[in-house]
Amino acid sequence: MSETSTPTAQNDATNPVFQIQRLYLKDISLEQPNAPQIFLAPGEPNVQIQIDIQFGQLQDSLYEVIVIGNITTRVEDKVLFLVEAQQAGIFELQNIPQEQIEPMLAIACPSIIYPYLRSNIADLIGRAGFQPIHLSEINFHQLYEQRLSEAASSPSDSGIILPN
C-alpha cells in the first residue's frame, strides 16, 4: 500500500488552527495593609478596578496571553484591600494570516481567559472575609478598537479602568 497525499490531508496542513494549550493562574495576591484598624473605620468602600492585557510569542505557533486584574478598595483614603491577579493561557495559532493574529490575541484569547480571572478574584476576596466583587463583563472587541484609535491619536500604556 503506498502513501499518497490526498486533498483532505493537504487541506488539513493549511487549515487555520486555534487551540487552547493551557489555561493557568500565573499570579495572585491579596494585601490588607491597614488591617485590623481599617475594619473599624466608618464609611462606604470605594472600589477601583483596572484590567489590562499582555501577550507575546513563546514559540513558532504558540502564544501566551495574560489578563491582569488589579482591584483596590479604600475606605476614606486608606486601603481596605488590594488584589493583583494574572490569569494566563497558552494558545496555538497556525495558518492564520498575520494581520489576524493580533486581533485574535487581543480579543478571542482574553474572552476565553477573563471568566477564570473573574472567578479567581471573587473567590480570593470571599476567602479573605469580604463580600466578593464580581467583575463586569468586558467587550474585548470594543476594547481592542478603542485601543487602536487611542494609539493612533496618542500612545498610552495604561490599563482599562472599569466603572464602579
Instruction: Using only the alpha carbons of the chain, give its radius of gyration.
Output: 21
> Could you give the strand order of the β-sheet that contains 78-94, starting from the edge strand earlier in sequence?
17-31, 78-94, 62-75, 46-57, 160-162
Examine residue 160 and state whether it is found in any structural domain, yes or no: no
Q: Residue 85 class from Cβ within 10 Å (0-12 exposed, 13-18 middle, 19+ buried)?
A: buried
Number of domains in the chain: 1
User: Which amino acid appears at position 96 of this protein?
Assistant: I
* pTM strictly above 0.85: no
Output the domain CATH number for residue 69.
3.10.420.10
Examine residue 144 and state whether it is found in any structural domain, yes or no: yes
Distances (CA, A) of 96 to 6, 21, 44, 142, 145: 22, 17, 49, 22, 20
Helix (H, G, I), strand (E, B) or coil at 72: strand
Examine residue 7 and state whether it is found in any structural domain, yes or no: no
Examine residue 23 and state whether it is found in any structural domain, yes or no: yes
Residues 26-72: tens digit of each pLDDT: 999 999 999 999 888 888 999 999 999 999 999 999 999 999 999 99
Higher pLDDT, 23 or 41: 23
Query: Could you tell me the residue range of the domain that residue 125 belongs to?
Result: 16-153
